[in-house]
Amino acid sequence: MRAFRSTATRLATVGMVALLGTLGVGASALVTAAPASAAPITQKFAFHIPILGGALGYSSASISSNWAGSAASVKEGSNFTFTSQATTQVIPTTNSGLSLLSIQDNINYYPIPAGTSYVSAVASGLVSFKPVSGPTTTSPLTITYCPTTSSPGCSANPTSATFLGNTPAPYLQVGTQAGLKFAAGGTLTTPGVTVTLTGLTGGVTANWTQTEFKTTSTISFSGPLVVSVVGYPYGGPDITSPVPTPPALLSPPPTLASVTVAGSASVTSVLPNSGPLAGGTQVKVVGTFLDNPTSVTFGGVAATNVTPLTSNSLLATSPPGLAGTVDVKVTTATSGSPVSAADKFTYTTGPIVTGVSPNTGPPGGGTSVTITGQQLASAKLVHFGLTLATITSNTPTSITATSPAGSGVVNVRVRVGNQLSVVSQQDRFSYHTGYFLGASDGGVFNYGNAPFSGSAGGTPLNKPVVGIASTSDGAGYWMVASDGGVFNYGDARFYGSAGNLTLNSPVVGIVPTPDGFGYWLVAADGGIFGYGDAQFFGSKGGSFLNQPVVGITAKPDGGGYWLVAADGGIFAYGNAGFYGSAGGTRLNKPVVGITATSTGKGYWMTASDGGVFDYGDAAFAGSAGGVKLNSPVVGIAGNSNTGYWLGAADGGVFNYGAPFYGSAGGTPLNKPIVGIAAS
C-alpha cells in the first residue's frame, strides 16, 4: 500500500499537468495544426486518468480542430460536405521530465447531424510518419461509418460512471490504423477528411460536432507505461490539478461547422388577397422557407419593396395588373414556391375588405363593426355569411355596420353594384364569444360559445403547461409548456416550439400574431422566441431584471409586444407604446398577467390577489383586489377596450365590463388553472 501511495504522490507532483498534456498528444495529432489562415475551434474534453486504479481522478485537455461546411445553406434533398484540414505535428519526446515513447490508436467520433443522411467520407491522402531516423512510412486513415452502436468495428464508449459522454448512432469514426505506433520525435501528418451528407429535412441546421476521442500513449515511467484515454466534451475551466469527481458533460458539444438545409419555399397565405388594378397594395406573404427572397412575382410580374420579416413571411408591394386572379410566387436562393390554391391574389375594381373590428360578437347580433378596406364607396350591402347587416355609415375606406344574429365563423363581404368583395382571412367575424381556461396538465375548459377543440389532459407531459392563447376567430387555441413545447388545437396551426432547446429560463407565456400565422413565447428571463410570422422586436434575455417576466401581450397589428414582470415593470418592443407601469410601486401581490386593448393603445395587468392596473386607453372596470379569494388569480383576458376577465387557479372567473359565461370554481380539478384566453 505504501508503494501505491508513493507512486500516486510522485505522479501528482512530477508535473501532472505535463503528463496529461502528453496523454492528449494522441488525440491532438489527428486534429490540430491547422494552417495559419484557418480558424480552428478549440474544444475541451474531460477524461478519467486510467492509471493507478483511477486514484488520480479526472483532468481535461484542449484540442483544436478545423472543419468547414461546403456552403452556408443548401436546398432540401441536396448533398453537402464537411471538410477538415490536413495536420502536421512533431510528436514530443519529453515533457517536464517525463518521456513519451509513442502514440497509437488515435480515434475521433462525430455524430451524423439530425435531419441528414450519410453518403460517404474520404481522406485527402494517407497518414504519413517520418521518424527521427529511417524512411517515411504511410498508412491509410481508418474511416468507419457506424449506423448503429453495435455495427462491426465501431467502438464509441457507452455512458458510464467514469465516462459521462455519449455518441449517438449513426456516427462517423475516424482514426489511425489500429495498433500502428508512431515513435516520439517523429513527424506525423494526417490527411483531411471530406464527409458528404444529404440534407433530408428543410429548416434544419446541420451542426458538425465531436462527441468523443480516444488515444493510447506509451510513456516511460519505471518502464514503459501504456495509458489509454477516452475524453468527452467539457465546458468548464482548464483542470490544472486532477479532481476526484467526473467533470460535467457539455451537451450539446461545440459546433465545429454548420450548414443550413433550406426547405422548399411555399406560400400558404396572401394578406390581403385582393387589390386595385393600379397596384400599390402592401401585401404580407406567409409561407415556409421564405428566407433570403430573390424575387416575388404577381402573375409573373415583379413586385416592389420586398421586405423579409421572418423565415416564413415577407412584405411586398403589388405591381399593376389586369382584372383577374394571379399566383403570388416567391423565389429564394435555393428554391421557388410552387403554384397553390393559397397563393392567389385578385386584381379587382370591386370592393376590398382588409379588416373587421371587432371581429367577435354574440350570437344574438347587435355588435357595431367597422369594416376597413378599399373601393368601398357606394356600398349598399354588407353580408355576414349569408345574412345582411345594417349599414350605419360608409366611406371609400371604411364601413360601419351592425352585426346580425349568427353562429360560428362567417366572412364579412361587401357588395358594390354587382361586385362582391373577395373572401379572405381578413374578413372573418366570429360568433364564438366566450373564453377558455387552461390547466397545468393541458386540460382545457370552454365557456360561452367558445368551442372545445381538444386538450392535452391525460397526456404525459415533459413539463407543465403555463399558458393558453386563442386564435383570432376563437375556433382554436395554443397551449405552451414551461419547456417551450407548444400544443395546437382547432384552427390553431403549429409553427414551431422551443421544446427541443436548452433554455436559460422556463417559458411563462404565449401570444399569437393577429393573423394567426405565428406566435411568440416569452421566458422568465425576458427571452423571446418567435415562430411563423411572429417578428422579433427585442427581448430582455441576458439583461438584469428586478423580477422575472410573467407574461406577454401583442399589438393588434402584430408590430410589437409588451412584456410584464412580477413587480409590474413593463418592457415595450416594436411599435408597442409604453403607457405606464407599476414598476417601483409597492404591490400587495405580484403581477401575474397582461392583456392589451383592441386598439393597441393600452393594456391591463392583474396581480395574484385580483388587483387590476390599467394604462393608456384601457378602462378600469373593477377588480378582485381586497376580495378574499379561494385561489390566486393567474391570468387576465381582455374584452375589447372596456372589460376583462380574470381567471383563478381553482377555475374561478371574475368578470368586469364583460359577460360571465361560467367557471370551474368549486369543481374538483386534476391540476390548477394557469391561464385564461378570450375566444
Contact 603, 594 (CB under 8 A): yes
Q: Is the peptide bond before 272 cis (omega within 30 degrees of 0)?
A: yes
All three cell numbers of 309: 420579416
* pLDDT for the residue 223: 76
* pLDDT for the residue 19: 44
What length does the chain have? 679
Q: SS3 sequence, 512-553?
A: ECCCCCEEEEEECCCCEEEEECCCCCCCCCCCCCCCCEEEEE
Contact 168, 147 (CB under 8 A): no
Q: How many whole angstroms separate alpha carbon 592 and alpha carbon 72?
A: 42
**Beta strand 274-275 with 344-347: parallel, antiparallel or unpaired?**
parallel
Give the CA distances from residue 173 to residues 143, 214, 286, 582, in Å, rounded to whole numbers and listed in that order.
6, 11, 42, 58
* pLDDT for the residue 592: 98
User: In the chain, count of helices (H) and strands (E)?
Assistant: 3, 56
**Beta strand 257-262 with 73-75: parallel, antiparallel or unpaired?**
parallel
DSSP 8-state assignment for residue 254: P
Q: How many whole angstroms separate alpha carbon 441 and alpha carbon 459?
A: 8
All three cell numbers of 137: 512510412
Angle (CA) 262-263-268 rounded to 5° is 135
3-class secondary structure, 20: helix
* Domains observed in the chain: 2-261 (no CATH), 264-347 (2.60.40.10), 352-429 (2.60.40.10), 432-678 (2.130.10.10)
Contact 310, 353 (CB under 8 A): no
Name the stretches of the chain with pLDDT < 50: 1-38, 96
Q: What is the DSSP string of 383-448?
A: EETTEE-EEEEE-SSEEEEEPPS--SEEEEEEEETTEEPPP-GGGEEE---EEEEEETTS-EEEEE
DSSP 8-state assignment for residue 29: H
3-class secondary structure, 12: helix
CB contact burial 3-15 (16+ within 10 A = b; e otherwise): eeeeeeeebbeee
Q: How many whole angstroms separate alpha carbon 167 and alpha carbon 170?
A: 8
* pLDDT for the residue 12: 30
Query: What are the DSSP E strand ranges found in 57-203?
Result: 58-65, 67-69, 73-75, 79-84, 87-90, 94-95, 98-111, 116-123, 127-130, 137-139, 142-146, 171-175, 181-183, 187-190, 193-199
**Alpha carbon 318 to chain centroid distance?**
32
* pLDDT for the residue 98: 67
- Alpha-carbon Rg for the chain, nearest whole angstrom, is 32
3-class secondary structure, 245: coil
Contact 58, 49 (CB under 8 A): yes
* pLDDT for the residue 97: 58
Q: Which of 468, 426, 425 is nearest to 447 (CA)?
A: 468
**Alpha carbon 358 to chain centroid distance?**
32
Torsion, Cα 543 547 552 555, to 10 degrees, reads -70
Q: Which of 429, 426, 438 is nearest to 362 (CA)?
A: 429
* pLDDT for the residue 217: 83
Is the pTM value of this prediction over 0.75?
A: yes
* pLDDT for the residue 226: 85
Q: Amino acid letter at 203?
A: G
Neighbours of 268 (CB within 10 A): 18
Q: Which of 208, 187, 231, 211 is nearest to 66 (CA)?
A: 208
Q: How many whole angstroms separate alpha carbon 470 and alpha carbon 360?
A: 12
Give the CA distances from residue 662 to residues 261, 290, 366, 435, 470, in Å, rounded to whole numbers and listed in that order.
49, 43, 22, 9, 18
